[in-house]
Structure 1
Amino acid sequence: MMRPFDDATRRNIAKACASFTRAPDAAQPRALKRAAVAVALTASGRGSDTAFLLTLRASSLRAHRGQWALPGGRCDEGETPVEAALRELDEELGLRLGEDAVLGTLDDYPTRSGYLITPVVVWAADSAAIVPNPQEVASVHRIGLDTIEREDAFDFIAIPESARRVIRFHHQGSLIHAPTAALIYQFREVLAGRATRVSELEQPVFAWK
């Protein structure tokens, strides 16, 4: 389904996010550090379609270097997930957006590496201002929403190390895993009006540290 990058699409996505009820906070087995990522919506660059921004993390980073990720990071002391997501968009991509750009939030996702990630859906209209920070971001990619709505965009595999299924997002010959794949998958489901939970979808073993 093609979604033009226009006010009507913004209203439709905001409505879908407003109709989505976040899962209640669940008791976690150990204290998790709060983090947030931005599902930042912008023009696809191949016409007037809507896309979200996906980054390839810089090879110089200490953790998860060279991996695919949504813009984001750990919440600072006293910072809300929305504030953190907007700050990280500025720090990583040079996008300065206010809270009026926020369309909604999705379920928190607990990671094996000790974080509880809140995805924040943001309308990043001023995409021409994107200036990646080379210390954090190797490259920025615009992923059309029609890409994640394909039937073959995601798959689920079993691994011997866990009873939970690993989710993978297939994109241009690359495999993008959870947590990023799980968050994108839930966003896809929200767009379709489905309240699909993803906290039990597994990450590959290399992402457990």
Structure 2
Amino acid sequence: MGSVLPGSVREFRELARARLGEFPHSEVSDAGGVRRAAVLLCVVADEDGAPAVIVIKRAYRGRNAGQWGSPGGRLDEGETAEQAVLRELREELGLVATPADLLGRLDDFPASSGFVITPFVAALPEGAEPKPSPDEVHSVHMVRLDRLAADDVPHWVAPHEAVRQPELRAEAASVPEHRGLLQMRLAPNMTIHAPTGALLWQFRAVVLLGLPHTDARVAHFTQPDWTQH
């Protein structure tokens, strides 16, 4: 691994602010009545004090029922993406963040659901503890940054091998990135596809690994059929 990983939320905050400040994120224009959503890749200290990004499994009701995701949702009328992501964090997880906690943003992601997702990155002070809303969140998971950065997390498989958790089929041999489907295999029962998987992949590439921006684009990543609903 060519990058030294942050050992604390404070170190992560400094690293993320610097790397995101140099990252030329791409934006999708509002032309054509685009529907917009915003999500937050939110880093907190886990129970051992290690920096970890929050991943949620959505409640088994409504839109995206039971899917893996990041805190966030659609923009209300008249709301900016920044305002929306802070509101959604509070509503879904009971966590209060301010604009100063936002460290930067990644590329807009055109989801197959018809929404353009704007991802932000944040770090919250030590002691921040999620209190999930049962109406919106089934479970909350802390993914340590060293796990997210591990070499065995990203896998590329043939699109027909996209299956829901926890079952996984045999891996396709050497599927080229531009033709394959990404699986972020974070734990035995935690395999995440695009769009959330793509955002985690870009967060990993840009912030944790410090890859050149030309090697870290994700808008073209394939999405499974079930993410359209």
Contact 1:164–1:200 at 8 Å: present in 2 too? no
Q: Secondary structure at the match of 1:128?
A: coil
- Percent of counterpart pairs with the same letter? 36
Cα drift, residue 157 of structure 1:
2.1
The one of 185, 199, 204 equivalent to 2:201 is: 185
Structure 2 partner of 1:36: 38
Cα drift, residue 126 of structure 1:
5.1
Structure 2 partner of 1:119: 119
Which consecutive segments of 4 or more residues in structure 1 shift more than 3 A?
Answer: 24-28, 126-129
State yes or no: 1:199 paired with 2:202.
Answer: no
- Separation (CA, whole Å) in 1 of partners of 2:83 and 2:153: 30
* Segment of structure 1 superposing worse, 144-153 or 119-128: 119-128
Number of aligned residue pairs? 205
- Separation (CA, whole Å) in 1 of partners of 2:5 and 2:210: 16
- Separation (CA, whole Å) in 2 of partners of 1:62 and 1:9: 34
* One-letter amino acid of the counterpart of residue 48, structure 1: G
- Separation (CA, whole Å) in 2 of partners of 1:126 and 1:32: 37
Structure 2 partner of 1:170: 185
Query: Deviation string for 1:53-89 (max 9, x for gaps)?
Result: 0001111x21111111100000111211111111100
- Separation (CA, whole Å) in 1 of partners of 2:149 and 2:129: 27
RMSD (CA atoms)? 2.0
Structure 2 partner of 1:55: 56
- Separation (CA, whole Å) in 1 of partners of 2:228 and 2:156: 17
* Unmatched 5+ stretches in structure 1: none
* Segment of structure 1 superposing worse, 109-118 or 169-178: 169-178
* Segment of structure 1 superposing worse, 98-107 or 2-11: 2-11
Superposed, 1:56-205 pairs within 5 Å as 56-59=57-60, 61-125=61-125, 127-159=127-159, 164-173=179-188, 174-191=190-207, 192-194=209-211, 195=213, 196-205=216-225
Cα drift, residue 141 of structure 1:
0.7
The one of 3, 9, 13 equivalent to 2:12 is: 9
- Separation (CA, whole Å) in 2 of partners of 1:206 and 1:50: 31
